[in-house]
């Protein structure tokens, strides 16, 4: 995840398996690994025996990780919600939708949404 995402107070993924991507050379943390580019993050994860990496933001991290991805787990929300971080556009010709679950609006969810899984072709 990116540094700004990592620094969010509600972030629950602060573990020794978390890799923070940052270009800030002065960034330090005791609760995660640090890498300054996506290639180093992948190598660090492989060094620790991880075979599947999950990217949780922000926008620059999504953009830099997408060329290395072989699977996309994507939740789309049926609403126009203001925000400053978005998943990058990806070429649908290079991805196959292999799973989709649509969830209607209900008393627990203000908006309908869909959870989708894409595999790289």
* pLDDT tens per residue, range 99-109: 999 999 999 99
CA angle 75/34/39 to nearest 5° reads 70
Report the number of distinct structural domains present in the chain: 2
Q: What is the pTM of this model?
A: 0.85
Mean pLDDT over the full length of the chain:
91
**Is the domain of 76 the same as that of 120?**
yes
pLDDT surpasses 70 at 14: no
Q: Is residue 64 part of a domain?
A: no
Q: Is residue 62 part of a domain?
A: no
**Is the domain of 76 the same as that of 110?**
yes
**Is the domain of 78 the same as that of 114?**
yes
Q: Is residue 11 part of a domain?
A: yes
Instruction: For residue 102, give its domain range.
Output: 70-121
**Is the domain of 3 the same as that of 42?**
yes
DSSP state of 121: -
The Cα-based distances of 8 to 33, 51, 72, 99, 116 in angstroms read 17, 26, 23, 30, 26
CA angle 115/76/54 to nearest 5° reads 65
Q: Is residue 85 part of a domain?
A: yes
- Collapsed DSSP state (helix, strand, coil) of residue 21: strand
């Amino acid at each position: 995840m990116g540094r700004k995402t990592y620094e969010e107070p509600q972030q629950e993924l602060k573990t020794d398996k978390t890799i923070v991507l940052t270009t800030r050379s002065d960034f330090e943390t005791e609760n995660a690994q640090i890498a300054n580019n996506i290639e180093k993050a992948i190598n660090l994860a492989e060094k620790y025996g991880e075979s599947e990496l999950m990217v949780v933001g922000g926008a620059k991290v999504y953009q830099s990780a997408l060329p290395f991805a072989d699977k996309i787990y994507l939740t789309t929300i049926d609403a126009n919600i203001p925000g400053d971080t978005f998943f990058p556009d990806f070429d649908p010709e290079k991805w196959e939708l292999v799973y989709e679950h649509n969830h209607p609006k209900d008393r627990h969810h203000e908006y309908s949404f869909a959870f989708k899984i894409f595999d790289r072709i």
